Structure 1
Amino acid sequence: DSVLIEGGTDPENALLLLSRADKGRAVLLPVDWTRPMDELSVPEAEGCLGTAIQLVQAPEHLRNILCLLLGQVLVVRDRPSARRIAKGIPAIARIVTLQGEVFHGTGVVIAGPENRSSTIGRPRRMQELQGSLAESEGRVKEIQKRLQETEAELTRQRTNEREFENAVRQAVQTMSQANQAHQRAVLEVEQVRQRHEYQSRQLAGLDGQIQRAEQEQRQGQAEIEKNNEKIADLNEQVREHNRKLGSLPIDELQSQLVHWNTTVAVAERALKDAERRLTEHRESIAAGKRQAESLRLRLTEVMNSQTQLEAEKSSLHEQENKLNLQIEELRQWIDPAEEQLHGYEKKYGEQQTNQSTAQQAVSVAERYSNQAQMELTRVRESLDSLRRRIEEDFGLVALEYNPEVSGPTPLPIEGMVEQLPELTELAPEVEDNINRQRAQLRRMGPINPDVQNEYRSVKERFEFLTNQVVDLKKADADLRQVIGELDELMRKEFRKTFDAVAIEFKSNFTRLFGGGSARLVLSDAENPTEAGIDIEARLPGRREQGLSLLSGGERSLTAVALIFSLLKVSPTPFCVMDEV
């Protein structure tokens, strides 16, 4: 925190301002008061870039100030170069790396980022942050207003879009209905045309049938005439034969009569057949005429219906043309609406982009505001820390409070504090001594006044736990002794019971099988409580074998012998056995 005071200006005003107000502590650099200082010589070493005063440019009248601030500062590339050069520089010199690390000639090293802000620039920074915060809030309000207007416009556009969609939907439905009516009309015309063609073919077939019937009628009429002529000839021949018959003998006449009667009967039958066929031809001709008349009537009806369908078709064509005109009008109305909708969507997208940008700006402003709040909190904490350090270093001292600065109200301790003399500067040895004492205090850490009480409580806790551990070890030894005694007692009792059951089992086995022998064997005689029990049996007339080699009935009798042995050694009030 340094303040440059130009030449011809008295620094006393700045000193009075710093002493009267709570503006923090600062370094004043009066141009008229500064004295020239020798620059640090640049060593010939690798990584050394030169002194800091050689790397900056400034007016000549500020040369003394620059020499005071930067004349004893060397700039190097990296930390190893700084460590090599730091061994040969004076105690007041400093070495700065390009990473911001500072190596003092006294051996002190300062590293890490600088997080605190300057005391003099803090009010200006707070004002700037408050101004940016107010500007951000104004922008947020403006963006929110624009967002509301955009949402209202978007709502109106959506309403118009829904109306357009409804109109388009109705137009599409009307066009679909017209297309369906046109398709039905075309289908009906096609059906009428097909019926007309079918009826025309039937009419042509009936005309052919009528012509064939008339031809057959003419042929039948010709045959009737021929038959009539034949009948007349035959009658003439009959009369001729009758005349001849009067002159011929009776037998020959009778035979000829029979012959001619037969011929006449045949001719009459042929005549009847011809008349029947003539009648049938006449009936068929009448039926054909009736059918032709009905077909003519149907043809007239079909022609009338075709005329009506043609009229309906022309009216449907007119309706179709009208619908097409309406569709074209709707399209001419829809296209600008779609373009307008596209424009509104584009504007909506731009509004959304602006909204997101505004939200980002709001987020940045909020972040700046939070940072400003955190910076303000940190500054207040640093002020409190400085006050505490001053009180720790110098005792209770009087501090001047500015009523314009916000903060806690000072306590009424006027009669309890010490008024220290005002000093313009500290001697270098005093400042170095203070720095060394502070470093020692930091290394020592904070003092805990309750450490003795904590030691006593921890010691009592340790003694209590030690006694508890001793008691637990003694209880563990007693329990192990009891467990050993119980194990020995269990081995004895188990061995006693096992021997008794083995004797009874051997007796019962021999009694049930009528001979033979069996015995119970422990798998581990040294540890009977954890060992298994095997049965070795020898049936009458057979060698000794295990239980698994016996048959089912033999194993059942062996089990019965073992159960009886257990019941005999340890009787029970009653025993129920089922399917042994």
Structure 2
Amino acid sequence: VDESKLELDTVEKELKENEEQIRERAVTIKRIQTEMATTKRIMEEIMSGDKATKLILEARENGEIEGIYGTVGELCKTHPKYSLALNITAGNRINYIVVEDDKTAARCIEKIKKAKAGRITFLPLNKLKPLVINPQIRDKEVIGRAIDLVKFEPKYRKAIEYVFGQTLIVKNLDAARRVGFSYRAVTLEGDVVNPSGSMTGGYYKGKKQERIALIVKDEAKLPQLETELAELQEERDRLVDYRTAIARELNDELLPQLSDNIRNRDLRERDLKSTKEEIQLRSEENIGIQNELQQLTDEHLHLENEINELISMKKDLSETLLRLQEAETELKEAINRSGFQELMDEIKQKEQFLEELQEEKRELEMTHFKKESQIEDNKNKISDCQTERVEKEKEKPTIEKQHDEVIQQITTLDNQYSVIKERRDEIIDTIQKSNDEMEKLKGEQRALRKRLEEDKEIKNQQLILIERLQTERKEANNKITELEEFATEQDLPYIFAEDEVMDVEVLNEVLTGFQAELESMPEINMKAITQYEEELELNQELVERKQFVEKDFNAIKQAINEIETEKRKKFMKVFEGISKNFNRIFGILSSGGRARLDLEDSDDPFNGGISVMANPGGKKIISMLSLSGGEKSLTALALVFAIQRYKPAPFYVFDEIDAFLDVNNVSKVATLVREMSKTTQIIIISLRAPMIAAAEKIFGVTAGENHISQIVSVSLDEIMKIVETNDMAMEAASI
């Protein structure tokens, strides 16, 4: 009994533990399922745009397409304190996929199109030309460039610079307002200030993707938890069965005793439980005391070791101090005897001064080292720029040749477009005429078919009537013949009743009337069927001609679309090139200024014009129409120079382009014109000294005798030689 009871207790305990584990697993599973249900909408929103991304990443994993590196978010890491600001900086571009080259991107796009999986943006590393800001801002609230706060492999630099290269990360909105209207600035709280003047901010509900990541992680654990729950339930069932068997055995053998024992056991269990709880409490307190005691013991040993070391050090120091005191006494006596004290003071001063000089030397060396590093960096940058400039100069003839070819192609395409458009108009007119003619023939065909059916119906009715009358007439004639034969055989007089004779006459009259009516009817067109077949063949021919014309029309339409696409592509290439040159040259002419060209209709560039936008001297960017006279002149010149730099003309004439400019801007324009003159011949009409001073040759127009204009030509080199000669002569005379 005792053994059975002990075994039953063990089973009860295991069963209780099993029930507790089952409850814990069930609660965990329910929590995960609840969170999964509540976040299903969020996950669907996030995953709805990731169908294409998932498709491409699967192609990367199974090796279907090579050169896929992953999303921008996968390829870069950052400190958690900057994650919100960098997520706001990247926006949707965090999901852009980085690929090796544009061929890989094209293959990925074709795969997405076939799967109809949506749209996604790719960043081919061989085509990206990101713009990266490098501001010199001294503001303690500015943390730095976003690109500097991201960790990534060097080979992905172009893609990461494309996403993060033009943004500053700052601590707060005040700092963003100070720098954000010159550069795009994002605060640590996610507020944004753009150079265009717009500001974005407010409450940002973050952690959504982190929460979903945790839920996905919990979801991965769900099958394991369900398996564990099933195993625990099986174990519980086994324990319940085992407990039932033991209980049945005890009931069969010693039920009364067992009942008493169970009651006693319950009492003892309650006492034991309270005792266990007290023991557990005491054990926890004891463990805490033991830990504290052990800690104190360790500290005590450590202190004893330190005390022993200090005692030993004290002993050594005492001996050393004693020796030093003796040496000091001897030294003082010697100094007093030699009068050496003043010399020692001077030495101390020199040593102190020497230490200050050494400290200053170290600081200067550090500054020198930093400057050398900066100089080296600048040299490298200058070398890179020179190399790039040489390469660009080498590429310039090729680019110009390509540009000429493109212009020639555009001209050819325009001519082809005009011819095709005329041909299309002719085909459309032909199709319209064919359609009208076909409709007319169809109407005639329907009328002819209706008339033919009516004629057939009338003819059939007449034939039926004639056949019936002929049958009746034949029967009447047969009857008359029979009567005549009967009268002959019987020797009867050949006399008939008047009404019988009248019937035959009536029939003859009716028959004669029908024959006359039939003869009076118009003749039936027996060629109607043949004509119908001819019209049907003509209709089929017109249908085939229509299909051929429609096919030709679609081909022409496709060719026109291709020409329009190519024309737009060539236009956008020229537009973007001139726009970049415009911004660069305007920045030179207007220090700190920026400019750009905007399409009035970006979807259809040929449907609208081009707006010229500028912000001279760092002002707010506005339309060129709102600028002052001098600013308009400067902006217009920058645009002309931008066009000249993209496609130089062999000859330019400028008439007083500097009239509204101040001296400083005239000098800048003169410098640019001087640079342009290396590849282009330029004639400028000007009255401004800085512009005249920059000219290679000067032509002056003055009124001569009888008010006739007189042209005077002079070279600056000749003037300089004359001035030098006069200076030398004056110097010699003074000697």
Fold-level match, TM-score > 0.5? no
- Which structure shows the bigger proportion of residues in helix conformation? 2
Greater relative CO (CA pairs within 8 A, separation 6+): 1
Larger radius of gyration: 1
> TM range, normalised to the smaller chain?
under 0.3
* TM-score, structure 1 as length reference: 0.24
* TM-score, structure 2 as length reference: 0.19
